[in-house]
Amino acid sequence: MKVTFLGVGSAFSKKNGNSNLLIESGNIKLLVDFSLLCSKALVTYGLSLKDITHIFISHLHADHVSGLEEVAFMTRLVYRCKPALLSTASLLERTWATNLRGGLEFIEERPGELDPQTLGDFFTVMPLQPETWITLGTDPGLRIHLHPTNHVMGMESYGLEVEELPGGFAKRFFFSSDTKYAPDLIARGAKTCSTLFHDCQLFDSGENNVMGVHTSYTQLLQVPAEIRRRMWLYHYGDSELPDATGDGFAGFVEQLQSFNF
């Protein structure tokens, strides 16, 4: 299993792209989220949308889903394929209703064709249950597990645990997605995953009157040293980075950096 960060930046990063993740295993190429900046990074990496088999939606902020309309148009009109779109049933419904319907409901693919479209006309819709493992593909096969995150009050949001079959500690990683500091969730992921990728805001909540809807670097310094050694930090801003390795972390992930499991 190969894991590549197509972007590692926060919502407003101008240097590091948005935090979009590519997971490759056997016949599966799974994208975790898809921002407007993701398609350029994907091409830089050497793939196009016709290569993507699955896209997972963690939540509906623009830096995670704003590129999905491009995916829908390109895969239908240019590549003539239909990637799978994965998330909970409620998040998939809201993705269509609040993010995609306005641009995709009517599409004149052929003269005179004006029938209203639905999400299933562009994607193979795959609703998932939180806290449940699902297997994707074969040879060797990939399993994903959704865990709810506490990101923005009232907003549905999920992180992932991912493993390549036949599985085991070395073949499994934890991906926090956007989340407030959650020590219990970090501890749970550390028990079963060899590597942790965690959301990292470079300032503390309250600075410049900004609400704390992400985990700050200062908060992550409270994580036990044994876990910090296996923790990579992403979703950070463009300001100067702290000395993460000096503070006991594995480091800050760089854009287009890959990890093999």
Cα-trace Rg, the chain: 18
* pLDDT band, very low/low/confident/very high, at 208 (cuts 50, 70, 90): low
Would the pLDDT of 113 be above 90? no
Would the pLDDT of 134 be above 80? yes
Would the pLDDT of 109 be above 90? no
Q: Report helix, strand or coil for 100.
A: helix
Tokens of 31: 């994208």
Arithmetic mean of pLDDT, 149-160: 97
Would the pLDDT of 189 be above 70? yes
Pair 177, 159: CB distance under 8 Å: yes
* pLDDT band, very low/low/confident/very high, at 22 (cuts 50, 70, 90): very high
The string of DSSP letters for 118-145 reads -GGGTSEEEE--TT-EEEE-STT-EEEE
Q: Cβ of 182: how many Cβ atoms within 10 Å?
A: 20
Q: What does the domain layout of the chain look like in residue ranges?
A: 2-260
Q: What's domain 2-260's architecture? A: 4-Layer Sandwich (3.60)
Write down the pLDDT at residue 138.
Answer: 83
Strands (E), 68-213: 84-87, 124-127, 133-136, 142-148, 158-164, 172-175, 195-199
Write down the pLDDT at residue 207.
Answer: 63
